[in-house]
Structure 1
Amino acid sequence: MAENKPINWAYPFPSKETSSNPLQLLTHMAKAKGGYYPTGENGLWHGGVHFDEGTAAVFDQSSVRCIADGEVIAYRIDERYPVSEFIHEIPRIKRAPFSTGFVLVKHTLQPPQPKTAEGGANEEQTPPSLTFYSLYMHLQDWESYQAKLDLPRPAFWEAKSYIVNTQSGGLGVRANPNANSTRLSELSKGAEITVSAAEGGFVKLVSIINGAASSALTDDGEGNLPGYVSSKFLTPRSEPKDPGTLVILGEGISIKAGELIGHPGTYQNHNDSAHPLVHLEVFSSEDVPGFIAQSRAWTNRLPDDQKTLLKVYKGASKLISHREDINAENPPKLSDAGSQIGVDLIIPQALLDGLPAANKIQVKASVDGSATPSTTHWWRLDGLFADENGNPIDGWLAEQELITTRHSPWEWQDFQWVEDIGTPLEKLAYAFNARGMLSTDEQHNYRTQISKADGGPIVALARLYDIVDSDKDGVLTSKEIQTALEKPWHAQVLGQLIVKYESEWYWNKAKWDELDPLLADENGQKNPVWEVEKQRIETLSWWKELAGKHGISGDGKVWNFQPIILLSVLVAPGAELISSENMKKIFPSSQDTVREEVRTLFNKYATLFEVNTPERISQFFAQVKAEVGDALVGKEESLWYSTEALKGKFARYFSHYPQEAEELGYKRISLAQYNTLPANVKSGYRVIRDKAYSQLPQEDEIAKRIYCCSVPGQNFHLNPGGCSEGLAYKGKGFIQLTWKENYKEVERLLKAKIPNENINIVANPDQVLETKYGLLSALGFWEWKRLNAKSGNSTTHTNEITKIVNLHTDSYEKRRENFEFIYGILKSD
């Protein structure tokens, strides 16, 4: 990993709500059916958060993404899910599968370097750093991957075979590892092959597992085929190493934020049904309090523009009630009616930047003795605050000096850390007592354990903030924790708690056996369900095998962070790839609602497609602007062509049927020629603008012919008279997508990337005309055609991209102008 370089971050699952903000995503964790932080539904310690059936309504949980740049250091993928056998009603046995699969990623956390006077990083100063880990537990088993061959696989698995993934046609097999050598054969698109050592951009062909070669290839007697193929047209079909065992990597494998970790696995408890589940956990074996102290000192070196957190204080600010007449010309005033804010809250700048343009107002006022006016920022904030009685309030917040304050994420504002030494017995006894599950004798027998848990640091802090004990009975319950997590101001306080505790993945038989008497039946006999559960806990454990490697502590005691709070604080506002203001500059004629829909979707998904640098974004929107114009409205391809143009541009069809070109293309003369015609001849013409047409083009009939293909896997079929398929798959969308096979490729890619967006462009090609799917199909096309690789900071790159997007267009110059215009806006941002 690169030293002294802040890492990138990504959410493990994207939100299904395009308007969601970091604090709403934090409160969504209350929807989980269990597995809260820092204590679970059963009252025991819980170092992570769960994504399960409860959170599936708000998060796209089809695949798990890495939350930060790092390196994979260990993983375990079940060959098939192990099964626990719980005895319920003798002799009935409940077989409950549970995933033990996980991936462990190591990261380095560092504040940014201060800038030098020239604008570069000051390399003489070394910021503090912290090694931390992200754990993705309960992942899908290998058997499930084998049952779904098209399911994307993690890149850090071993590549056992490769799929030929050409843009069209097959893949040439060359005699030597270069493109100019003799072509021995051609592999069909979709063929599965094995390869050996790479040489430049080529790999040696070893065997063909599935698919065909156009010419027979004879092996060398040792089972190896002759020839080389280009590696850039191969997609690895990876497999986990030694399924069912713990794989510890000697050297970590690099992984970027947002890259695939795996897919949710299946988990079933003794008292419920099988369901998808992922446990996400973030922890560090190092001195976290020491790092935070150093990090806070480091912020004195950082400029004020990196203070990306706005703190609002209880009782200090008033939230002005929104009225229909409030706008940029008539902004709210501090004297307007409103409600006093009754809670503390830290608001990330990413949330403020993501607000609709109408919810952000700047008010400038002159300052005596200064040529620079003062600026008051007003933000319309809904669903974030409560009054002093806990009632939710919405409205306009003014950012005021001394009343609200700005902070760097590296100040770790309001974070607290505690070391919890409470035992599982103390915690479970407390939880049972809170639920009224203990008899009088049991309350007496476990009074010491209940008392210790009651005075423990987590419970004490919860009461200190008065955020959980809603019924004021002095007892903390899991239901009260869940209710608290639904409110941003409460969820943030619980999330800011950093707890040192023994990892639940560190197997310690004695501490779990200590629960036996508490869980025994009425006759004091061992609880059979609990005995099976202990076996499951041991099976899930992995810590001791990793202890001492990659910085993992030997005693299992680590500092745990709430993962989503880290993302809400440390994901820089730069995660917003394009602002409302810049979108308006680029597409000035578009409606506000359309432009904002495109911007929100682009900011949400573009990083998944790696369209995330000023150069790539500028090249992408340069093409979109040329295809759909400043209004940003998807449209169908125009096929307004003359008879001669049809013969030239679409010779594949009309060179065979020139008479049809004569019948379907337009025929016209100039207005001057038209004016010389006799009146009886003029009646056969139609004047449109400055031309007179004797024949208008039949665009639908042209589409039927030039985009007809009745052969699966190909993009052209010479079919006399064309076919209806050609009309259905004419060019549509933000980047004019044509041909049914191309629609299939883009749909396949989009379903793998964003499966919950209901992509259905093959069965419903007109879906591409909708704003949302117009943008998504453009992103899909961009990745499918590998246009990021062609993107750069010059118009030469624009020309190369245009050749792929629209080879025969006459708008090359316009697209170059678009790029220069957009890049001029974004690179100076």
Structure 2
Amino acid sequence: MSDQPPVRDWSYPFETTDNGSPEDQATIYYRALAQASTGFFPVGSNGLWHGGIHFDSATGGALQQGNGVRCIADGEVVAYRIDSEYPAIEYENGPKNAEYSTGFVLVRHKLQLPAQNADNGAALSGDQPSGSSEQDTAAGKPNSTLVFYSLYMHLLNLAAYKYEEAMAPIAADSDTQSKEPPTFLTSYTVGQAARDQLNGRIGLNLRDESHQIKGLAISGAKLVLGPAKRDWPGYFPVLRINTGATEPAELSPAGLFAYKDELEGPNLDATADTIVNLDDPVPISAGELVGYPGSYQRYTDQQPAPLVHIEVFSTDDVPAFVKTSRERAPELNQRRTDSAQNTTRQSNASDKEKPSPWAWDGFSFVEESTSLDQQMARSLIANRGARPEEERDYNAVANTTDGSALFKKIREDIDLDNDGQLSKEEIKSALSNPATAKSLSHLIVKFESEWGGSMGKWDALDRYMTGLNETDWAKEKQRIQRLQWWDGVTELSAPNAWHFHPIGLIANFPKTCSCGQDITEADLDLILPDDVKANGLFYRAHDRSVRSYDKSRFLTQLNRFLRSYEINTCARKAHFLSQMIHECDELRTNEEYRNSDGSMPRGWSNYNGGANYHGRGLIQLTHRSNYASYGNAVGNPDIASQPDIVSHSILETTRSGCWYWRSGSGWGDINPKADSNDFFAITVAVNGGFRHVANRFIALNKLARIFQADNCQTNPGLNFSNYEIESSSLTNSNWYKSHRSIAERAQNSIDSAEYNTNDD
């Protein structure tokens, strides 16, 4: 645990369907959560303590829940449970087959105060700058680190994942994809069958596309594999190494392949329906998939419906951590202001006046001492659910509960009719007000987790369950017991914990960059010209079947391949998209333009292989040799003889661009050039020269602002507004020596380029 990296990045669990700016994401969430059928924080619609929030069918209108649940912060998966099939209850008077998910994922996070002499950017996100010495770090100082957990409960069952389909080769004409399992579930282990050797180490050889050995995954390493290659039986691309080592140690999995038959595959059937504690926790990034909403049917529901419960808690001394954090907040806020003043992106006064996240502005603590049965008595009185003969007994208990720390605090914000009581209608109505919802989301409440502790607290509710017969309430308690998981997670202690509202916590740490985040429709709209917005993507493409292509479907494919090809940091995305935008004429086409009569221009005959091997795809793949290499790489050799496949399928349009970026350019993998912000080298690697270099530069500058890349936590300190060709790696090449005059003109072009810093 001490080696776990601190949180560098945060993410909301779902993308919004609203195209609002990132600043109003929390408001969108608060409004959506007010529509949920149940599961409010910190008190549910039944009037009982509730430590998390629910996302169900009613919240789905504002949130893209079908795309899966995303991890809220960088961390490590420490435990999970996945149902083979959903268990079900046969009620006597209720549903006869009320299925429900017990599946969960538990992620551990480490929140660490920035070092005393940390770089400016670190003061915003809570990360520790890379390269800091042990003396520079805040770790080890009292109350400078907080361990917290995020829980994702009621997730999709094993039967719903199509593993074989997900691992099969992708059809060239298919724009569909099955639900992808989260990578921590699908890693393959380098086990006893792998006996390759390199430099005295034993493991599995990793090969490049030409079948050459590039390194070794050492025994015990866990690999995440992509779809199979059609023309290379048994070999699968390595998307990621979850845990373990390689030889050489710095070996990157990008563009490498592993022989799957010598790996030990995930045997999820063997561990289904049990709590799995990971001896080697699996790193997971903010925004990475943790699963999909599962199925849940309550006693009063007519049928099962999708549901996920998200919860954040800590068993550490949270008040002490926040106290230390607040003491250092003025210093950290000054760093934040200085950073805002020094950045190339314009900052407004309100940005500079915002308090540091470390001030925990508006947050307060509540330790609640009432029991569930006392809370139930209060709820029955407030909602007029008690029978006349019960009211006398319940009133005294209800009054005591209403005066408790938690309910007193809630009443201050919510008691709309000033009757001193708190009804479920008042709770739901008040949560529709974003200001009230925000206030409640800043409560940090200590109470026993509903996922642990004695079942006696539920037995104490027996006398209040007059709406259920004895048999059905007994079955409901059986369900509650089956849902428990706390005692089965080895690293957790007693279930008394401090609970945070997940959205309140995420909103307190605003993103300073977009590393690891998918590109949204709102992002895309900021770079699309008006005619493309009006007529649709690729509306001028030669292939009529892709004209006016749906933005959402396009982004599904684009984000899918940006992730799998690891073009996922601020700098990489900004550089990739700035080149892409020019190469495909701002997404008007996915193919070079023909003559007005549809014929091919005479000059295209100069392409290797002839005119039919002209540019296609997001980065305009050209020449027969490149089409053949791409087809072989993705397991579809037909592309070499049928290059139209690339422009006919948006899947291939997007994937070909990402492949070229990593493997197709004669200048090698372009990601390292993006990491070092080498704009001139990237332009030559994509374009072969400096055609329209000023337009590419203007697009890059705008995209860098959209992605907040000047505050990037992965590659800090990059400047996207000033490039000197003498600082480019290009100057070491023979190409530069023979094209010096062209390079000088390129420098002059971007020096004189005009761009509007307020146009996004």
**TM-score under structure 1 length normalisation:** 0.60
| Change over 3 Å in CA distance of 1:477–1:149 after alignment to 2 | farther
**Residue matched to 2:71:** 66
Q: 1:155 deviation in Å?
A: 1.4
> Which of residues 566, 591, 594 is equivalent to 2:505?
566
Note the alpha carbon deviations across 1:326-382, whole angstroms, 9 max, x for none: xxxxxxxxxxxxxxxxxxxxxxx9xxx9xxx9xx9x9xxxxxxxxxxxxx84xxxxx
Tell me, yes or no, if structure 1 residue 134 matches structure 2 residue 150. yes
- The 3-state SS of whatever aligns with 2:277 is strand
Hey, what does 1:124 align to over in structure 2?
136
- 2:461 is aligned, of 515, 522, 526, to 515
Q: Is the 8 A contact 2:77 2:284 kept in 1?
A: yes
1:673-822 to 2 correspondences below 5 Å: 713-716=636-639, 726=644, 738-740=646-648, 742-745=649-652, 789=671, 791-793=673-675, 811=689, 818=696, 822=700
State whether residues 485 and 491 of structure 1, in contact with CA within 8 Å, keep that contact through their aligned partners in structure 2. Answer: yes
1:267-293 CA distance string (max 9 Å, x none) = 111110200110000000011111110
In structure 2, the CA distance between the partners of 1:508 and 1:746, relative to structure 1 (3 Å rule), is farther
Residue matched to 1:103: 105
Which of the residues 453, 456, 461 maps onto 2:401?
453
Aligned equivalent of 1:396: none
2:159 is aligned with what amino acid?
A: E
How far off is 1:239 after superposition?
A: 5.0
* Corresponding residue of 2:752: none
| Structure 2: gaps spanning 5 or more residues | 122-128, 167-178, 191-203, 235-252, 538-550, 615-626, 705-709, 711-717, 721-760
CA 1:637–1:648: 2 relative to 1, 3 Å:
closer
Q: Does 1:615 pair with 2:571?
A: yes
Residue 80 of structure 2: SS of its match in structure 1? strand
Residue type of the alignment partner of 1:64: V
Q: Once the two structures are superposed, what CA deviation does each residue of 1:524-554 show, in whole Å capped at 9, x if it has no partner?
A: x9522211110000000011122xx33x222
1:622 is displaced (CA, Å) by 3.9
Work out the CA distance in 2 between the residues paired with 1:559 and 1:117: 30
Amino acid at match of 1:639: R
Q: Does 1:38 align with 2:42?
A: yes
CA contact (8 A) 2:209 2:256 kept: no
For residue 82 of structure 1, report the CA deviation from its aligned partner. 0.7
Provide closer, same or farther for how the CA distance between residues 593 and 29 of structure 1 changes in structure 2, counting only shifts above 3 A.
Answer: farther
User: Are the structure 2 counterparts of residues 533 and 816 from structure 1 closer, same or farther at C-alpha, using a change threshold of 3 Å?
Assistant: same
**How many pairs does the alignment contain?**
587
Give the AA of the match of 1:744.
Answer: L
Change (3 A) 1:180 1:650: closer
- Confirm or deny: 8 A CA contact 1:103 1:136 kept in the other structure: yes
Q: What corresponds to 2:476 in structure 1?
A: 533
Contact kept? 1:79, 1:143, Cα under 8 Å: yes
2-structure distance, mates of 1:433, 1:235: 65
Q: Counterparts in 2 of 1:369-448, with a 5 A limit? A: 377=349, 406-448=354-396
CA distance, structure 2, for counterparts of residue 544 and residue 620 of structure 1: 47
Higher helix proportion (structure 1 or 2): 2
Q: TM-score, normalised by structure 2?
A: 0.65
- 1:66 is displaced (CA, Å) by 0.9
Contact 2:77 2:282 in 1 (8 A): yes
Given the superposition, is the C-alpha separation of residues 432 and 787 from structure 1 closer, same or farther in structure 2, using an over 3 Å criterion?
farther
Residues 727-757 of structure 1, C-alpha deviations (whole Å, 9 max, x = no match): xx7xxxxxxxx333x523467x8xxxxxxxx
Quick one: distance in 1 between partners of 2:211 and 2:40?
A: 60
Between the aligned partners of 2:504 and 2:210, the Cα distance in structure 1 is: 58
Give the deviation of 1:412 after TM superposition.
0.9
8 Å CA contact 1:799, 1:812 repeated in 2: no
* Partners of 1:508 and 1:400 in 2: CA distance: 47
Pick the structure with more strand per residue: 1
What is the distance in 2 between the residues matched to 1:544 and 1:654? Answer: 64
Asked whether the equivalents of residues 626 and 811 of structure 1 are also in contact (C-alpha less than 8 Å), the reply is: no
Q: In the TM superposition, what are the counterparts of 1:244-283 in structure 2 within 5 Å?
A: 244-272=273-301, 273-283=303-313
**Amino acid in structure 2 at the alignment position of 1:489:** A
* Residues 1:54 and 2:50 are matched in the alignment: no
Amino acid at match of 1:563: P
The residue number in structure 2 matching 1:143 is 159
Conservation of the 8 A alpha-carbon contact between 1:8 and 1:571? no
Q: Find the counterpart in structure 2 of residue 648 from structure 1.
A: 606
Q: How does 1:193-592 map to 2 (within 5 A)?
A: 198=217, 232-233=256-257, 238=266, 240=268, 242-272=271-301, 273-306=303-336, 377=349, 406-464=354-412, 467-520=413-466, 527-546=470-489, 549-550=490-491, 552-554=492-494, 556-575=495-514
| Structure 1 pair 619–495 and aligned structure 2 pair: CA distance change class (3 A) | same
Matched, 1:83 2:88: yes
Matches within 5 A, 1:166-177: 177=205
Against the structure 1 CA distance between its residues 648 and 96, is the aligned structure 2 distance closer, same or farther, given a 3 Å change threshold? Answer: same
* Deviation for aligned residue 1:13: 1.0
CA change 1:88–1:72 in 2 (3 A) is: same
Q: Counterparts of 1:135 and 1:82 in 2: how far apart (Å)?
A: 20
Correspondence for 1:680: none
SS at match of 1:74: strand
Distance 1:143 1:3 in 2: 33
Is the CA contact 1:500–1:559 (under 8 Å) kept in the aligned structure 2? Answer: yes
Give the structure, 1 or 2, with the largest relative contact order (CA under 8 Å, sep 6 or more). 2
Q: Is the 8 A contact 2:101 2:157 kept in 1?
A: yes
Alignment correspondent of 1:765: none
CA–CA distance in structure 1, aligned partners of residues 510 and 277 of structure 2: 29
Q: 1:671-694 CA deviation, whole Å, 9 max, x = no partner?
A: xxxxxxxxxxxxxxxxxxxxxxxx
Contact 2:76 / 2:109 at 8 angstroms: preserved in 1? yes
Q: Is the 8 A contact 1:10 1:65 kept in 2?
A: yes
Aligned to 1:152: 180
Shift of 1:448: 2.7
- Give 1:427 deviation, angstroms: 1.1
What is the CA distance between 1:203 and its match in structure 2? 12
Aligned to 1:22, which of 16, 22, 25?
A: 25
Give the conservation status (yes or no) of the 8 Å contact 1:65–1:259: yes
Q: Distance in 2 between matches of 1:181 and 1:487?
A: 56
**Alignment-mate amino acid for residue 81 of structure 1:** Y
1-structure distance, mates of 2:222, 2:290: 26
Question: How many Å separate the matches in 1 of 2:319 and 2:375?
Answer: 25
**Following TM superposition, by how much is the alpha carbon of 1:511 offset from its aligned partner in structure 2, in angstroms?**
1.2
783 and 569 in structure 1: CA distance in 2 versus 1, 3 angstrom threshold: farther
Cα distance in 1, alignment partners of residues 63 and 660 from structure 2: 25
Q: 1:113 deviation in Å?
A: 2.5
Indicate if the aligned counterparts of 1:429 and 1:446 stay in contact, CA closer than 8 A: yes
**Cα distance change, pair 652–486 in 1 and its aligned pair in 2 (3 A):** same
Residues 107 and 634 of structure 1, relative CA distance in 2, 3 Å threshold: same
Question: How far apart are the structure 2 equivalents of 1:646 and 1:9?
Answer: 47
Q: Percent identity?
A: 29
Distance 1:574 1:213, change over 3 A: closer
C-alpha separation between the residues in 2 aligned to 1:625 and 1:594? 14
Structure 1 partner of 2:624: none
Per-residue Cα deviation, 1:446-503 (whole angstroms, up to 9, x for no partner): 2232122211222211222xx3122222221222112212212111110011100000
Letter in structure 2 aligned against 1:33? S
SS at structure 2 position matched to 1:86: coil
Q: Check the 8 A contact 1:155/1:238 in 2, yes or no.
A: no
**Residues 1:653 and 1:45: Cα distance change in structure 2 (over 3 Å):** same
Q: 1:624 aligns with which of 564, 580, 598?
A: 580
Assess, with a 3 A threshold, how the Cα gap between structure 1 residues 131 and 307 changes in structure 2: closer, same or farther: farther
State the shift of 1:648 in Å. 3.3
